[in-house]
Amino acid sequence: GYRSQVVPVSVGATDEIDVELMPDAMELGAFTISRPNENPAFAILREVIARKPVNRPSRLSAYEYELYHRVRFDLNQFTEKAKRNLLLRPFDYIWDYADTTADGVNYLPILLTESSEEHFYRKQPPEYKQVVHGRRTVKFFKAPRISEFVEDMYIDPDIYENYVVILDHAFPSPINDHYKRNYDHKLFDSTYVVDGYPCYRIDFKPKGRSDVAFTGSMFIHDSTYAVVQVDLAFSIEANVNFVRNYWLRYNYQWLDSAQWFLHKSQVLADFTVVENSKEMTGFFGRKSTEVRNIVMDRPRDDDFYSGVDPVVMDPLALERDSAWWRIARRDALTQEEEELEEMVGRMNSDPKWKRIVSASKLIADGWLPAGPVDIGNAFTFYSYNEAEGSRA
């Protein structure tokens, strides 16, 4: 900088003033730049792994919670040729419900499922129980493969386990006990705030491009070293059958400043109808999960857990009305989901579609729907052998 100066001016006159700037030197304190001996993310990850037993809900004597799932599947990347398909040509109104993503991929919502459940856990003696209070599916067709994808998306794996199982593939967790073996980690920032919690942000990617491992980011609480949020993704390079891309996010909350618990999760998956195909008609799968009303350290007695099947279906689970579902989901369906219900109702009441469904069932199963009963089996209506001749 420069020294300050005071220069007089004449009042009421025009002055020409030359100001000579005089340098002003100051001495700065010394500072040192040092190179770390190791990746700074490793010190944080060691703390995360050391505190897994404390930060996992399984350390509690018992816990229970309500769970709400919503899963939607969209047909994507369909072409004009698909629209002219002989089977779908009489129902061209379904394309009025199609939309396009921000990056130009067209899609048509075709299936929606909802589930409202309660989950119960006891540590000693170990017991687990799930009660399904409501479940519904909105669709106009039968697709066993999509149904398998839907069931897979209902699962919420535990990020604290060494391996996270998705679609029958075991991915090493980014906080695996041997985290250096599978991932390159990078401490991106130490000043992030997620849901009000100060966090470290650590990014990670597989050591090898084709390794079965995640790419993503995780946000670690700066005092308890618990996972507050984690984003996990993998693509077609992971060689998971029928998957082009898969992304999921977990968010955790600190209950009573005593225990971290999964609060909500989101999944967005891009499935293909042909294995490992980047450019082919496929399906978007979207899932959102919310965990509510968590109760800790109140174990249920043995009578509550009695029974062979740990999953119990409420007798009315499949018969819940719209008023019940409005309370269960706590929020409204999106406009696309409401339009999906409208389209499915229109298809299921279309006489032409009913005839196609009946014919498909007859060809596939040998049974013809006829009101409240099915007529069949068509494959055994007539038979012939040399001893008995023709039989009907």
For residue 276, pLDDT beyond 50? no
> For residue range 313-331, what is the model confidence (pLDDT) as tens digits?
999 999 999 999 999 998 8
Strands 311-313 and 127-138: parallel
Confidence of residue 390 (pLDDT cuts 50, 70, 90): low
- pTM exceeding 0.85: no
pLDDT digit string (tens) for 356-372? 776 656 555 555 556 66
In this structure, of 19-28, 256-265, 376-385, the range with the lowest mean pLDDT score is 376-385
Q: What angle do CA 54, 188, 235 make, to 5 degrees?
A: 85
**Are residues 213 and 185 in contact, defined by beta-carbon separation less than 8 angstroms?**
no
What is the spatial distance between Cα 359 and Cα 81, in angstroms, rounded to a whole number?
A: 24
Q: Residue 15: which pLDDT band, with cuts at 50, 70 and 90? A: confident
Of 16-20, 260-264, 375-379, the least confident: 375-379
Q: pLDDT-based confidence at 257, cuts 50/70/90?
A: confident
The predicted model gives 239-251 an average pLDDT of: 87
| Sign of the alpha-carbon dihedral angle for 262, 268, 272, 277 | negative
Inter-CA distances, 185 with 5, 33, 157, 271, 388, Å = 55, 22, 21, 28, 75
State pLDDT tens for residues 83-101. 777 777 788 888 888 888 8
The first and second tokens of residue 243, run together, are 């998957």
pLDDT of 130 > 70? The answer is yes
CB 234 within 8 A of CB 240: yes
Q: Say how far apart CA 50 and CA 382 lie, in whole Å.
A: 70
Q: Greater confidence, 373 or 210?
A: 210
Residue pair 76/282 in contact (Cβ under 8 Å)? The answer is yes
What span, in angstroms and rounded, lies between the C-alpha atoms of 234 and 112?
24
- Average pLDDT, rounded, for the chain: 85
Q: Taking a C-beta distance cutoff of 8 angstroms, is the pair 294, 306 a contact? A: no
Taking residues 107-113, what's their average pLDDT? 90
Residue written as tokens 């068509």? 378
Pairwise CA distance, residues 205 & 239, whole Å = 16
- 148-200 per-position pLDDT tens digit: 778 777 778 899 999 998 888 899 999 999 999 999 999 998 989 999 999 99
**Top-confidence residue, 274 or 104:** 104
Residue 132 — very low, low, confident or very high, per pLDDT cuts 50/70/90? very high
pLDDT at position 253 is 95
